[in-house]
Structure 1
């Protein structure tokens, strides 16, 4: 009987360089490495687009995000109906219906003075806002997309400041609602604000925010940031009514749609 050639030797039992033997395998390994790196980089780029990973976007993606205010239809940024599966108290589903869209504008008179001052370092390119109501028409929520003039380091610096100083929890830095005449939100003013959230993106020159209140125009003496209102032991009227869920849930879904739009825009051939 016979045995196969031992690996690393030729037919005369002379040593054979192992590297020479693996050229096809080496080429295949190189291809796999390239594909693997491509998949990894694609995952990193795409992860923030579907949920926010904290990873920085590419310059192309950042630029694409900053131009969406004039290149994407309003119905894609603020859909007429937004589904919030599991977004309500106790994991209940929510459905929000858009009742008003503000004309796209600058930021003059759009924020209270202190919030305007806090956002000033990143500038204001454009502000888009829409107001929604829930399925029972008990609550109203304004959601906004502030497109800034800042670069990626500028957005990161602002995000770090908001996180470090907890600016998103200060009631004197609440966003203003958009009260549209002739709608359920006609009486939704500064004194009607009950809960809010502010999110400074670092992967795009955008600040996403939402502020909620009752549709009957009642005033609120103890507004509570959405993050606190969502705590199990929160006892404020806003928390008990689920207004923290309204603000946070709608802001999250508008932000998610925004990320999808950025992905689509960045994938368009130049």
Structure 2
């Protein structure tokens, strides 16, 4: 009887584990599919909120508040990236590109954040993420996203020469690349842009680092990415 009971318990555990694994995989697939459709299913204010709060996002853990000043018409990816970055992203395709530009509370800085919805499946996104990690593509100064400068706003002079810091994040649980690029709002040129990962390090002394422009790019990108993940997560029923 003990042997039969033991075998039954083991069999039940194996079956339960298998079902849990299948459920997790199904949930991940649902989340991936949901994220792929967000560019036309989610309201713009959900993807790019009019106001984004960044508690502890600034230098030294200071709080930040960003205000949206412009939303670009949804489009393809032509002209949105420096050519080498466009080539690096080409394997996953471009289904749609959404962009918005924000400014900080003092209107001293401007940051464009973008959501590139790709045509790729999960393995292709994982391969691209691994390539960015292994080859350090996110730190190369010839692989920058381009800003969205909107006329009549504080970001009107935000062009390629004004880019100071940037970040690019390739998601693996969604067919999306999240990026942000920041600069000064007064149109000053930047000779040596610095990736946000370096500009936010303790002791960094470059102009973008000391101005907190790495924090602007990283902080805003992180919060837009978190919001995207939350929106794409499949709803789960709570037990009654």
What SS class does the counterpart of residue 171 from structure 1 fall into?
Answer: coil
What SS class does the counterpart of residue 60 from structure 1 fall into?
Answer: helix
Task: Write the distance in 2 (CA, Å) between the matches of 1:112 and 1:168.
Answer: 13
Q: Which residue of 1 aligns with 2:61?
A: 91
Higher Rg of the two aligned structures: 1
Uncovered stretches (5+) of structure 1, i.e. residues with no partner: 1-16, 46-55
Task: Write the distance in 1 (CA, Å) between the matches of 2:219 and 2:27.
Answer: 24
Task: Write the distance in 1 (CA, Å) between the matches of 2:51 and 2:232.
Answer: 20
C-alpha change, 1:41 and 1:136, in structure 2 (3 Å) is: farther
C-alpha change, 1:242 and 1:151, in structure 2 (3 Å) is: same
Cα displacement (A) at 1:268: 8.6
Q: Which residue of 1 aligns with 2:102?
A: 132
C-alpha change, 1:152 and 1:18, in structure 2 (3 Å) is: closer
Task: Write the distance in 1 (CA, Å) between the matches of 2:130 and 2:2.
Answer: 53
Q: Which residue of 2 aligns with 1:220?
A: 190
Task: Write the distance in 2 (CA, Å) between the matches of 1:18 and 1:58.
Answer: 39
The list of structure 1 runs, each at least 4 consecutive aligned residues, that deviate by more than 6 angstroms after superposition, is none
Correspondent of 2:81 among 105, 111, 117:
111
What SS class does the counterpart of residue 248 from structure 1 fall into?
Answer: helix
C-alpha change, 1:159 and 1:180, in structure 2 (3 Å) is: same
- 1:175 touches 1:209 (CA, 8 Å); kept in 2? yes
Q: Does 1:58 find its partner at 2:31?
A: no
Count of residue correspondences: 234
Cα displacement (A) at 1:233: 1.7
Q: Does 1:207 find its partner at 2:177?
A: yes
Q: Which residue of 2 aligns with 1:267?
A: 235
What SS class does the counterpart of residue 80 from structure 2 fall into?
Answer: coil
In the TM superposition, what whole-angstrom CA distance separates every residue of 1:14-51 from its partner, at most 9, and x where no partner exists? xxx4478x79xx88xx69x959x85x998x78xxxxxx
What SS class does the counterpart of residue 49 from structure 2 fall into?
Answer: coil
Q: How does 1:23-172 map to 2 (within 5 A)?
A: 34=16, 58-172=28-142
Task: Write the distance in 1 (CA, Å) between the matches of 2:60 and 2:203.
Answer: 13
Uncovered stretches (5+) of structure 2, i.e. residues with no partner: none
Cα displacement (A) at 1:243: 0.3
TM-score w.r.t. length of structure 2: 0.89
In the TM superposition, what whole-angstrom CA distance separates every residue of 1:37-91 from its partner, at most 9, and x where no partner exists? 85x998x78xxxxxxxxxx972222111111100000000000000100000000
TM-score w.r.t. length of structure 1: 0.80
Task: Write the distance in 2 (CA, Å) between the matches of 1:95 and 1:208.
Answer: 19
